[in-house]
Amino acid sequence: MYTKMQAALGFWILSAVFCLGRGYHHASLSHVRSANKEFAFQLYRKLAARSDNRGKNIFYSPSSVSVALAALSVGARGYTHRQLMSGLGYNSYRVTQNDVNRFFSMLLKRQDGSSDISEGTAVFLDNAFKPKPDFLKYLKAFYYTDVLNVDFRRTTQSADAINKYVAYKTHGKIDKLLEHLEPDTVMYLISYIYFKGMWDSPFKTKLTKVDMFAIDEYNKVSVQMMNKEDTFDVYHDLAIDTTILRLPFNSGYSMLLLLPDNMATLEKAISPQHITNWSKWMRKRKYNIFVPKFSIKTDYSLKEVLTEMGMTHMFDERADLSGISGGKKLFVSGVVHQATLDVDEAGATAAAATGIGFTPKFLELVPVLKFNRQFMLLITENTADDILFLGKIVNPNI
């Protein structure tokens, strides 16, 4: 069934969230964490620059992509492995594969005992395909991997099995990851995440009213605008003319809403250091805030984006995935990421993230933060500012 160059490794990604792990070598842990944050914004800029994403909402989980690629790197060798490590931003002179494995293991363990997050990975194997035992051993030990067998020759049934697994793990939020499968597929690697955060201080439903949201300078749409007057952590970054609002969940996570004077300036400049600085510089102040209520879903093919980021060999005949299988030549046939986000008065439910806006009314005693035009959003872990979700809201109605 499988010729030397035909066996394909199907590689599909769901959105996922991760937070800080403790222990092992501090320098290696810090390097991997810093690289993950930088990778989040590099990937964002690649997605935002693509012509097919212009004028659209952007929403994804950079941590999900990182964990899936890190899991794949367990089976990569040679130059393919070096490309994966470099593309993720890991300096091979400072960290080893074992360091990466242990780091993500600690990140994934943050779900233990938490009702907010469920995350992990899964591998679907064709009945006739036998990967190396060490590959599955490391995935199970470090990446919370479920291993399931299917008959990929029965493409419809196999796709249904994968879709049902994903739907179950994401509480129905991602209900159809796959449209179809190629009959020469031998393996699917999936990472998944389900996040549900309740606001530390919920919005009152009776205050939600219809309002206008500016998609651009020419077009507006009506939205359900939530409203609350309270004390919030707020900071205005003069260097990039952006107002930042933090909305905490009643857990160890927060949503950051970023309203820039110029979106292009913010997208070009934003970096992990900004997130760190904002956390230090925010001060509590009373505001009257307006945040749109919305549900969005995004779907990306990341093959071209990851290729642009230097991860090329894994997609063609140059792929060295001999750590997965020594007998068959494998390559990655595709990388797909799907994410969903629902924001309402009670909180946010995600297989992805959220955002903010600012309109000052200087004559009022209580200033107004009104998210009635394009804004960026992040969901972060509070203690280490790890980025769980990242996106831009252009139109809350799509």
Phi then psi for residue 72, to 5 deg, are -65, -35
CATH of domain 8-197+296-340: 3.30.497.10
Integer Rg of the chain from CA: 21
The token duo for 167 is 């739907």
Distance from C-alpha of 212 to C-alpha of 225, rounded to nearest angstrom: 8
From first to last of the 398 residues of the chain, give the pLDDT tens digit: 333 223 334 444 443 222 233 334 567 888 999 999 999 999 999 999 998 898 899 999 988 889 889 999 999 999 999 999 999 999 878 899 999 999 999 888 876 666 677 788 898 888 888 889 999 999 999 998 999 999 988 889 988 998 899 888 888 888 888 877 777 888 888 888 788 888 999 999 999 999 999 998 899 999 999 999 999 999 999 999 999 999 999 888 899 999 999 999 999 999 999 999 999 999 999 999 999 998 888 888 888 999 999 999 988 888 888 998 876 788 888 888 888 888 999 987 653 221 111 112 223 456 889 999 999 999 988 887 888 899 999 999 88
pLDDT of residue 115: 65
**Is 199-292+347-393 the same fold as 8-197+296-340?**
no
User: What stretches of 275-386 adopt beta strand conformation (E)?
Assistant: 283-301, 331-334, 336-343, 347-350, 368-370, 375-381
Residue 233 parent element (H or E):
strand 220-237
Intra-chain end-to-end CA distance of the chain, in Å:
43
Cα dist. 143→25, 45, 78, 147 in Å?
19, 27, 22, 11
Residue 16 CB: number of other CB atoms within 10 A? 32
Q: Where are the domains of the chain?
A: 8-197+296-340, 199-292+347-393
Q: Are strands 8-11 and 331-334 parallel, antiparallel or unpaired?
A: parallel
Please give the DSSP secondary-structure letter assigned to residue 204. P
- Give the CATH H-level superfamily of domain 199-292+347-393: Alpha-1-antitrypsin, domain 1 (2.30.39.10)
Burial 241-262 (b: 16+ CB within 10 A, else e): ebbbbbbbbebbbbbbbbbbee
Helix/strand/coil (H/E/C) assignment for every residue in 317-333: CCCCCCCCCCCCCCEEE
CB contact set of 48 (below 8 Å; sequence gap of 6+): 54, 58, 267, 392
Cβ atoms of residues 9 and 324 within 8 Å? yes
pTM for the full predicted model: 0.86
What type of residue sits at position 184?
D
Distance from C-alpha of 203 to C-alpha of 309, rounded to nearest angstrom: 41
